[in-house]
Structure 1
């Protein structure tokens, strides 16, 4: 049988490419005659540039940009013709944050966009996801030339000083450039379902500070464009989505962009089974994440889809609502300690077990 293997990264342990290879290695141990088609995936977060480079080719351009706390960090821009792809997690990822998201600036993301434009790109696609910042994209705007009566590039902590923002210089700097915000979530900037409330705790913002930090972003939205702050995707990457929308960006789910780039629809139609996966499979996977996107493609192709994950945190009813026939957890098979100590080996072992059930 033909199996399409299309996982996301397993955050903190395996890249999407490594996860796909581990699943394939395990599957072959049980079903060596099966034909495996590997399609590593991304949703705009970590691995976005690598996955697109593998699918589209192009030129990888190395540079250095400002990290969330002002430190220089390495980054890579993918250039395919006149289109440049930027991955925000490279310069403001969760792994770069110390002391809480309210102290991290997104200025480096603006620097990546500027570098892409200065290099001749007429379209810049910005992958949003996996960020550790929460400044509403104020640092991005500052890097692109926006001015204010307050401080834009010291993180959310500085936004309480902002009452006016002039976006005209930033918009002029990007005149003639098409911006695309490739988002992994569709949340607004502020409020009960906004960036701070939804993702602040995992970025190190203490629970008793959530309301205050969200208030800073709300004031920032009032100083810029309150209506835009309510749009889907404005809260992506701690509000970088909002900054891009202010600059005229169009929003596209990152998973849709990647599935198109890797021709996932046609590959799914050629498969008998589709296998996807991610680190933690839960109901939030529906909000623009890889497993839901892959499962939707599999459903359209009338192919069953199963998921392999580090942890499975949904029941069978929720699983089927996401379009997944069955989901299997690495930790249930080998335990949490081994799952983190030897992630590729553990995932491979799980894949071999799953192949016993699903391979002909």
Structure 2
């Protein structure tokens, strides 16, 4: 049997390649004659660089950067075929903060600027920036500061970290040093920077913003958009309203101001991993993510895999940490059946503590169901 294993990460526990490996080990322990193809996946968020490195090879360049609170953090630039790939979540990720530390008023995108500076020094002429999973809501102000275009107040003093400080932004001092590289913003978020569907309103609460914070941050991002339009040469008109400007707390808007084009992170990974060819050759698809919920049905990676499998008449099984989607809703999305680590173990705590062991056990059960062991 030809089985395509193409999961997303299990946030907080396993990367996508680790999930794929655990599923393959479990299946292979029962049905060794099956042909297993691993295609770990990601969108523009956490795991973007790791998945692309698995698919493309290339060179991973370590970079010292900072986290959303300015503390030292480890990042990297992937250099493959003359293109550099960086991931905003390595420096700006919500997963880098403890729950009590989450505060988009203070969180900064400065660390992403350090990653971009390293990418520009790598010799690549194109830099692809994966956007998603950020703790920030500063409109990319910190990133610009790290690149040499610092937001300052009316006295010329550089502003402190965080979105709230942009209330005092008078102008940008300096120009972003990017050596003429071509920028690509990889995101599947199409939210504008401001307004009801903007970065602050839609994503602010999950980053720790109160209702009052949301209103404040939305207002300062609107102010900052006007600064970008005035002070960044070549900034496209109406940058605040461009689809994707609200990605990663508004980093999308700053990248667009610097001339970035927008591409789907999922489509980019899909192309790099050869997912479509692998789907064409499969008898069964196994995909998954940490939580298969109703957001999963709204265009997220797993639902895209299920839809692609349905187009080819291939059964698609979802394995997740938790499943909160009903059988009928899952079926309508192209999912044949679902399995969860929480159901397997009987508790969230054990599912979080032993995810690889649980995935191997679930995959072995699937192999007994869908294939026959040798002998």
For the criterion TM > 0.5, the same-fold answer is yes
Instruction: Give, in whole Å, the separation in 2 of the partners of 1:188 and 1:320.
Output: 32
1:104-123 matches, within 5 Å, as: 104-123=107-126
Q: Is the 8 A contact 1:43 1:288 kept in 2?
A: no
Q: 1:82 to 1:29 in 2, by over 3 A?
A: closer
Distance change >3 Å, CA 179–CA 287, structure 1 → 2: farther
Q: Distance in 2 between matches of 1:329 and 1:236?
A: 30
Cα deviation 1:232-291 (Å, max 9, x = unaligned)? 222221111121111111111111111111111111111101111000112323555321
- Which residue of 326, 345, 351 maps to 2:363? 351
Partner of 2:304: 293
Matches within 5 A, 1:159-308: 159-165=166-172, 169-170=175-176, 173-174=177-178, 176-225=180-229, 227-286=238-297, 289-308=300-319
| Contact 2:128–2:184 (CA under 8 A) maintained in structure 1 | yes
Q: CA deviation at 1:13?
A: 0.8
Alignment map for 1:64-213 (pairs within 5 Å): 64-97=64-97, 98-150=101-153, 151=158, 154-165=161-172, 169-170=175-176, 173-174=177-178, 176-213=180-217
**Structure 2 counterpart SS, 1:102:** coil
TM-score w.r.t. structure 1 length?
A: 0.91
Distance 1:99 1:301 in 2: 43
Q: Which residue of 2 aligns with 1:331?
A: 342
- Secondary structure at the counterpart of residue 69 of structure 2: coil
The normalised TM-score by structure 2 is 0.88
8 Å CA contact retained: 2:120, 2:179? no
Give the C-alpha shift of residue 221 in structure 1.
2.3
SS in 2 for 1:103: coil
For the Cα contact (< 8 Å) 1:7–1:19, is it kept in 2? yes
Distance 1:182 1:152 in 2: 28
CA distance in 2, matches of 1:359, 1:243: 50
CA-atom RMSD, angstroms? Answer: 2.2
Q: Name the CA shift for 1:189/1:355 in 2 (closer, same or farther; >3 Å).
A: farther
CA-to-partner distance for each residue in 1:23-56, whole Å, 9 max, x for gaps?
1222234433322111111111121111111111
Residue deviations 1:42-82, cap 9 Å, x none? 11112111111111111111120132222221111111132
Q: Is the 8 A contact 1:185 1:233 kept in 2?
A: yes
In the alignment, structure 1 segments of 5+ residues that lack a partner are none
- In the alignment, the residues of structure 2 paired with residue 110 and residue 287 of structure 1 have an alpha-carbon distance, to the nearest angstrom, of 31
Q: Deviations over 1:273-319 (max 9, x none)?
A: 11110001123235553212322432343322221111122223432
The CA distance in 2 between the partners of 1:195 and 1:129, in whole Å, is 12
68-77 or 309-318: bigger deviation: 309-318
Residue 127 of structure 1 deviates from its aligned partner by 0.9
Aligned to 1:310: 321
Aligned length: 357
